[in-house]
Amino acid sequence: MTQLQVGRIGRAHGIRGEVTITPFTDDPDRRFAVGSRLQTDSAARPVLVVAGARRSGPVQVVGFEGIVDRNTAETLRGIHLLVDAEALPETEDEDEFYDHQLVGLAVHHHSTGEVLGEVVDVMHPPAAPVLVINRPDGTEELVPFVSAIVPVVDLAAGTVTVDPPDGMFA
């Protein structure tokens, strides 16, 4: 079963057992909703249940059941929060994809069909997602994940088709 990281626990926040979370999800409000059960990469705490969540400025703050003081909260620092990929809802738009669906896809040139590499990661800078492509020569190419450059994603075929501007993949 494939597990996906949806967040990483940061420092304790306040004295009541809350922690900061670095979210790796596009919908932290739903992912960290009260009652959500999150698996972890910690043998000491394999499952954490969200008892409360809020924003404090730009920071996601979460409290977990059974974590009631700052000292206990601090022991959670660095734990990765995980969900089963199969538990994720289907995307509502046929042109939306989860990162894990894109990683591993072969990248082909729109005009020539040439294999340009393989998607190895998806980055999320402020403007638009970026596909990290491992090229056959071992170098990486960063490709903005916008329809003008990536017109076709075919999950069934395991391919991404790119129409790169001049200079990209040169």
Percent of the chain with pLDDT over 70: 99
Tokens found for residue 62? 């979460």
> CA dist 14 to 20, 92, 93, 117, 159, Å?
10, 38, 39, 47, 47
Tokens found for residue 28? 């932290």
Digit-coded pLDDT (tens) for 15-64: 999 999 998 877 888 889 999 999 999 999 999 999 999 988 778 999 99
| d(C-alpha 151, C-alpha 157), whole Å | 15
Quote the DSSP letter at residue 154. E
**Predicted confidence (pLDDT) at residue 152 exceeds the cutoff of 80:** yes
Class of domain 3-87: mainly beta
Q: Greater confidence, 130 or 57?
A: 130
Domain definitions of the chain by residue range: 3-87, 99-162
φ and ψ at 101, to 5 degrees? -75, -30
Planar angle of CA 87, 92, 155, nearest 5 degrees: 75
Closest CA to 48 of 88, 2, 90, 6: 6
Question: What is the predicted pLDDT for the residue at 88?
Answer: 76
Q: If residue 107 lies in a helix (H) or strand (E), which one and from where to where?
A: strand 106-109
Mean pLDDT of 133-159: 95
Radius of gyration of the chain (CA): 19
> Could you tell me which residues come within 8 angstroms of residue 22 by beta carbon, excluding any fewer than 6 positions away?
7, 8, 10, 60
**Predicted confidence (pLDDT) at residue 100 exceeds the cutoff of 90:** no
Q: Greater confidence, 92 or 63?
A: 63
Quickly state the pLDDT bin for 9 (edges 50, 70, 90). very high
- Whether 3-87 and 99-162 share one fold: the answer is no
Planar angle of CA 71, 78, 47, nearest 5 degrees: 80
Which of these ranges, 26-30, 65-69, 107-111, 127-131, has the smallest mean pLDDT?
26-30
What is the value of pTM for the model shown?
A: 0.67
Question: What is the predicted pLDDT for the residue at 1?
Answer: 64
Homologous superfamily of domain range 99-162: PRC-barrel domain (2.30.30.240)
| d(C-alpha 164, C-alpha 145), whole Å | 11
